[in-house]
Structure 1
Amino acid sequence: MAFHEVRFPDTISRGARGGPERRTQIVELASGDEERNASWANSRRRYDVAYGIRRADDLAAVVAFFEARNGRLHGFRYKDWADYKSCLPSQAITAFDQQIGTGTGSMKIFQLSKRYTSGAQTWVRTIAKPVAGTVRVALGMVEQMSGWTMDATTGVITFTTAPGNGVIVRVGFEFDVPVRFDTDVLDVTLDIERLGSITSIPLLEIRK
């Protein structure tokens, strides 16, 4: 299998349904109390893009995209319109949106990530598929216009000179979700006017 650095059509993903999934084991005791255990340390996203198909041309685009990926075989990029940037949906990206590390004076490589915080709890999500041209970087509170490179296929930032000891590395970016089709069959229905529809087109986030 391979990963194709191509994005699923935005016009269709905009109308899709889906979001994060977690796996929790719950055991109910004789007393009625519960014991809960997280089977997964990280969430995994599922989507159904069938809801985004509104025209016959959309259907044709999905079929072509499906065939080019060989069904479930190859992964691809997907824009989750509900969560695709480092800041809140109503805000513009800045170089200070997310803290991804602290300089040691020797470390040059930092992985993009996004923090999800509610109350005292925070979950950190690794971002592996940033959108090229959207990444902004700051050391401390000073944006860096040069002196670093970004690998848009892995989400790794490499500095030419290692950030100084104790210097906070901050970033802003847009990102895609690495996914694959979660089916090897597209069940297409054509009505009398030759307008088509597909009941379900599931996508599943790829976790390595």
Structure 2
Amino acid sequence: MSAFHEIRFPFAIGLGASGGPERRTEIVTLVSGREERNSPWANSRRRWDAGPGIASLDDIHTLLAFFEARQGRLHGFRFRDPLDNRSCAPSVQPSPADQVLGTGDGGTAAFQLVKHYASGAQSWTRTIAKPVEGSVRAAIDGVETPVTTDHTTGLIIFDTPPAPGAVITAGFAFDCPVRFDTDRLDIALDTIGAGAVPHVPLVELI
């Protein structure tokens, strides 16, 4: 039976990964030449190739151990997206005001971490399920407030439910839940003391 392992893909290898979000758009060209576009996916799905991060035989040794422990595609794990891993811009540190999570109603104490991607009048909201331990900072109406964080689901819980209308915000670092997208690693030894793994595909779990 598949499971999720709360362990992060080796950082040194993952740092060299390439990839990003993928969406699915269905396009139908009408007789008039006009297009009709529709997306069957409500959310994007991220894919990466961690192969470019392999720099040595020691890296291959580390990757082999990690791959075998996850049993290929069977078990999920955490991955730190080198380009998108925090609630704010990459050049700054997360602050309690980064992302709006919702408003208080006087009875709800738990809120889901999310990240908003906005451009112009449009935006998309991503659920964050794997915050990095010790990174979450939350606020109620701009006042930083302690919370209990479930690092396996992304839920934060206040000791006292925020008052009705209070704005709940948070800042955090996060990992992405992924799995290997292959049951086989094709490893080549190019020179003495050096190796290459052309492709190490990872795909986001949604």
With the shorter chain as reference, the TM-score category is over 0.9
- Aligned counterpart, 1:190: 189
Question: Where do residues 52-131 of structure 1 align in structure 2 (5 Å cutoff)?
Answer: 52-131=53-132
Secondary structure at the counterpart of residue 7 of structure 2: strand
Cα-Cα RMSD: 0.8
Compute the displacement of 1:196 (Å).
1.3
The one-letter amino acid of 1:191's match is D
> Which aligned runs of 4 or more in structure 1 are off by greater than 3 angstroms?
none
Cα deviation for residue 39 of structure 1 reads: 1.1
CA contact (8 A) 2:96 2:139 kept: yes
**C-alpha separation between the residues in 1 aligned to 2:29 and 2:150?**
47
- Distance in 1 between the 2:17 and 2:190 partners? 22
Partner of 2:172: 173
Deviations 1:2-50 (CA, angstroms, capped at 9, x unpaired): 1000000111111110000001100011111100001100000000000
**5+ residue gaps, structure 1:** none
Alpha-carbon separation, structure 2, partners of 1:66 and 1:150: 29
Alignment gaps of 5+ in structure 2:
none
**Aligned-partner Cα distance in 1 for 2:96–2:15:** 26
Q: Which letter does structure 1 place at the counterpart of 2:74?
A: L
1:115-154, aligned counterparts within 5 Å? 115-144=116-145, 146=146, 148-154=147-153
Deviations 1:122-167 (A, max 9, x none): 10000000000000010001111x3x21000000011221000000
Deviations 1:100-141 (A, max 9, x none): 010000111110000000000010000000000000010001
Question: Counterpart of 1:178 in 2: which secondary structure?
Answer: strand
Aligned to 2:39: 38
The aligned amino acid for 2:127 is T
188-197 or 69-78: which moved more? 188-197
SS at match of 2:131: coil
Distance apart, 1:178 and its partner CA: 0.1
| TM-score with structure 1 setting the length | 0.97
Distance in structure 1 (CA, Å) of the matches to 2:95 and 2:157: 19
Q: Could you say what secondary structure the match of 1:176 adopts?
A: strand
Contact 2:81 2:175 survives alignment (8 Å): yes
